[in-house]
Structure 1
Amino acid sequence: MGFLGPFTIRAKILMQEMWIESLDWDDPLASNLNEKAQQWFSELGQLVNIEVPQCLRLNQKKNIVSWTVHTFVDASEVAYGAVAYVRSTYSDGQVSCRLVAAKTIVSPFAAMSISRLELVAAVLGLRLSLAISRILDIPISRVVLWTDSMNVLWWIRGRSRNFKPFVANRIGEIQSSTETRQWCHVPTAANPADMLSRGIPASKLVSETFWWEGPDFLGLNEENWPDKNFQVAIKTSDIEVKRPFRTLFVAHQNDLKWRLDPKQVSSWRTLTRVHAWVSQFIRNCQMSKDDRLYGELQPDEIEDAEISQIILTQQEFFPEEYSVLKKGKILPLRSKLIGLQPFIDEDGVLHMNGRLKFAHFLSHDVRMPIILPRKSWVTKMIVNNIMKKGIMLQELIRH
């Protein structure tokens, strides 16, 4: 259950340090590693003094008005983790908070910024919260997730597609399962997950009520919790916003054969990669040698090529609607898209706008899907590409 997480994470970190030293199982430890190992083993005997209540209720005779789950996340250069508490409010106004579970993981060998590690910790906290909400046989009314990272909170409040792939993929998972208002800021000094990312001695863990019952503010009314109207201040180097790569190609009427005509290729993957290579070439021609891009295509470049092809297709099949919406005007009643309440986003893509826009538990792209023409060759390639991926996934699962 992770109750001893702040203590056991020290052993995990120590094991990683041994692997970094390329030690075999029978090799003697260096003096610094041996000292850490001996210290950790010497503290094992103190764990017998730890007692964990089996019941989440503070008083069996009182009625509980509401149950809420509060999950705290944190990360450091050596480890990251998440710890969850169940907060129960009784009919007489009394509040109790109990530790439910925790999870710790050592940071990967590959160098990674603290901001990215904190984002990974946020995903870990999300998954832990979902598991607890599913397993506990109590009526949980609310789940709140706490982090001391301003960068993570800024990312969560943005659109996942605007960020680099590493951040975008994890923010997409967070946004698909939670709402923005569920994520709150907690000062580092009031974050119990800080003990998971750094580790503490067993003697301190035995009597650390901050770990077993959570921060003091959870015992207070919500108006006394950390201020939600905080200013999200981030470092410029940690923004991780995608660069504006997009290059649109327009075929002239007198062209005998447009080389990037979608009908000239058979797959969506081929079309987007050819488009991305040509875009990269055009950009490099406009840049100095020091600023040019070389090597394999980046995920951002491929995604921009996909968006560009979708925009060109929409402009071809819905020229009037696209032009009217681009000017900020209202569609005429004769338009075949009038029932979809279309709009153009900041990328220039035509989206459908319906009732799903209020379903904030869904991701942005699910709530406001992209409009594609039924008779377009691009649409057929996109559908075939998705079907092909589905078949490959089925084969992978089968094997």
Structure 2
Amino acid sequence: MCKLQYPWIMKLWLLKSTWDETPPKEITENWNKFKTNLESLSSLRLPRLIISPNSKSVELHIFCDASEVGYCAVAYLRCQSHDSSVTTSFLCAKSRVAPLKTLSIPRLELCGAVLLVDLLQNIKEALLRTIRIDSITGWTSSQVTLAWIWSEPSRWKVFVANRVTHIQEHLPSSSWRYISSQQNPADCGSRGLFPSQLIPYELWWKGPSWLREPPENWPSNVRLNSETTEITNEQKPNTVHVLENSTHVIDLLLLKFSSISRIKRTCAYILRVIHHCRKRKRYLTLQLLPFETQKALYTIIHHVQLHHFSELFTAIRNNKLPDKCFRKLAPFLDRDGLIRVGGRIKNAVIPFDHKHPVLLPKRPRVKKDLTQVQLNRLDRWKLIQAMVQHFWKRWHVELALAKPRCW
């Protein structure tokens, strides 16, 4: 409590003075002043009775505060009698010198709150067997400390999180309130006083004057701004663990389903959901529209082409000559981004898909699904004939295998 304890003893530690070494003049003068003031402590009188016999309720109020040189916690009992009169009594106090390692003021204030709950544990061990305490309230002058205590410990960095966890285990966050530094009796304990200053200091011995008034006259809790720099500096960075799935969703569909129709429908519904999330467009029916299934098929083909013809895509987009095996096909990209086969029949009066079929690899999974349809041989041959008009591949092999014997 005395003024000598905090700055001057700390300076001796920092100077690393030995036992036989004479301290600096400034420290010596303060020591002599402190020693002279000790005589005034003989006039100090403290009442031994802290609870009146006719008390109907007993409350425990503990205050904490911190400064650059130390932090302190002080406890008072508030007793209300049957005639509604209120008395407050000094119970005990505890103080600590600030660590040599420099800490920010908000962290020191949090250390003061830890000291408060440690003092609370000592009070419970000494008094709870004989005195029934109706309520316990913790008071602090630090809005930053309150913001930390009123939040989940997992939000904060290790230093703050560990201390907030310790505080909340012994005193719930709902039991903490704010008090200004001018009214906080622990303020003088964190800064230190000479004995002659301490004896007449009523705030220290009785607590704040409003503590003897009804609770509605007590200081109201402040509205905290959780975005202040002091609070956010101790916030743990949000870490998002992203697991990258190397398997594309279309590959998963091709592996899971054996029917190209089912793959198209599933892909179409996925594209519809994506479009809805981007454009906020609602569909009046669950039934797929023709253009949606067509777009899904082109999406599947585009994925297959990207997988098998990536170098060809790069060559076409950069206006470079493709590999020799593709040159005779005169490949180009259509408006849907698909590689199609060019040629000399571009002026023919036939549908675009027939003039410029889509290029597929030799053994694509989608080609297998397109042709493996449970039909009789005649219908299967007709299907392959239709596929030849839309997709470029060595379909004559399939055509020869599927041709009816009577032809």
TM-score bracket for this pair, using the shorter chain length: 0.5 to 0.7
1:272: which partner in 2?
none
Scaled by the length of structure 2, the TM-score of the pair is: 0.58
Q: Output the CA distance in 1 between the equivalents of 2:175 and 2:4.
A: 31
Q: Output the CA distance in 1 between the equivalents of 2:244 and 2:126.
A: 55
Pick from 86, 96, 118 the counterpart of residue 87 of structure 2: 96
Look up the equivalent residue of 1:86 and give its one-letter code. Answer: L
Pick from 92, 98, 110 the counterpart of residue 107 of structure 1: 98
2:255: which partner in 1?
none
RMSD: 1.6
Q: What SS does structure 1 have at the residue aligned with 2:134?
A: strand
Look up the equivalent residue of 1:45 and give its one-letter code. Answer: E
Q: Is the 8 A contact 2:6 2:69 kept in 1?
A: no
Q: Is the 8 A contact 1:70 1:143 kept in 2?
A: yes
2:137 is the alignment partner of 1:144: yes
2:114 is the alignment partner of 1:123: yes
Scaled by the length of structure 1, the TM-score of the pair is: 0.59
2:250 is the alignment partner of 1:242: no
Matches for 1:170-209 after TM superposition, within 5 Å: 170-209=163-202
Q: What SS does structure 2 have at the residue aligned with 1:96?
A: strand
How far apart are 1:12 and its partner, in Å?
4.5
Q: Is the 8 A contact 1:69 1:129 kept in 2?
A: no
Look up the equivalent residue of 1:197 and give its one-letter code. Answer: S
How far apart are 1:173 and its partner, in Å?
1.2
2:71 is the alignment partner of 1:77: no
How far apart are 1:233 and its partner, in Å?
3.6
Q: Output the CA distance in 2 between the equivalents of 1:203 and 1:222.
A: 33
How far apart are 1:202 and its partner, in Å?
1.3
How far apart are 1:16 and its partner, in Å?
1.8
Q: Is the 8 A contact 1:11 1:40 kept in 2?
A: no
CA deviations on 1:175-203 (whole Å, 9 max, x unpaired) are: 22222220000011110000111111211
Q: Is the 8 A contact 1:71 1:145 kept in 2?
A: yes
Q: Output the CA distance in 2 between the equivalents of 1:162 and 1:223.
A: 33
Q: Output the CA distance in 1 between the equivalents of 2:154 and 2:216.
A: 34
Pick from 212, 236, 242 the counterpart of residue 219 of structure 1: 212
Pick from 16, 19, 22 the counterpart of residue 16 of structure 2: 22
Pick 1 or 2: higher relative contact order, CA cutoff 8 A, min separation 6: 1
Q: In 2 relative to 1, CA 25–192 (structure 1 residues): closer, same or farther, beyond 3 Å?
A: same
Q: Output the CA distance in 1 between the equivalents of 2:112 and 2:235.
A: 20
Q: What SS does structure 2 have at the residue aligned with 1:184?
A: strand
2:224 is the alignment partner of 1:232: yes
Q: What SS does structure 2 have at the residue aligned with 1:131?
A: helix
Q: Output the CA distance in 1 between the equivalents of 2:224 and 2:13.
A: 38
CA deviations on 1:204-252 (whole Å, 9 max, x unpaired) are: 2111111111000110000000013x21146314421111233333455
CA deviations on 1:296-335 (whole Å, 9 max, x unpaired) are: xxxxxxxxxxxxxxxxxxxxxxxxxxxxxxxxxxxxxxxx
Q: Output the CA distance in 2 between the equivalents of 1:193 and 1:67.
A: 21
2:127 is the alignment partner of 1:133: no
1:31: which partner in 2?
25
How far apart are 1:253 and its partner, in Å?
6.5
Identity, in percent, stands at 32
How far apart are 1:39 and its partner, in Å?
1.2
Pick from 168, 189, 195 the counterpart of residue 161 of structure 2: 168
Aligned residues: 244
CA deviations on 1:336-361 (whole Å, 9 max, x unpaired) are: xxxxxxxxxxxxxxxxxxxxxxxxxx
Q: What SS does structure 2 have at the residue aligned with 1:101?
A: strand
Look up the equivalent residue of 1:142 and give its one-letter code. Answer: S
Q: Output the CA distance in 2 between the equivalents of 1:204 and 1:102.
A: 17
Q: What SS does structure 2 have at the residue aligned with 1:132?
A: helix
Look up the equivalent residue of 1:231 and give its one-letter code. Answer: R
Q: Output the CA distance in 2 between the equivalents of 1:43 and 1:195.
A: 17
Moved over 6 A (4+): none
Q: Is the 8 A contact 2:147 2:231 kept in 1?
A: no
Q: Unaligned regions of 5+ residues in structure 2, if any? A: 249-407
2:151: which partner in 1?
158
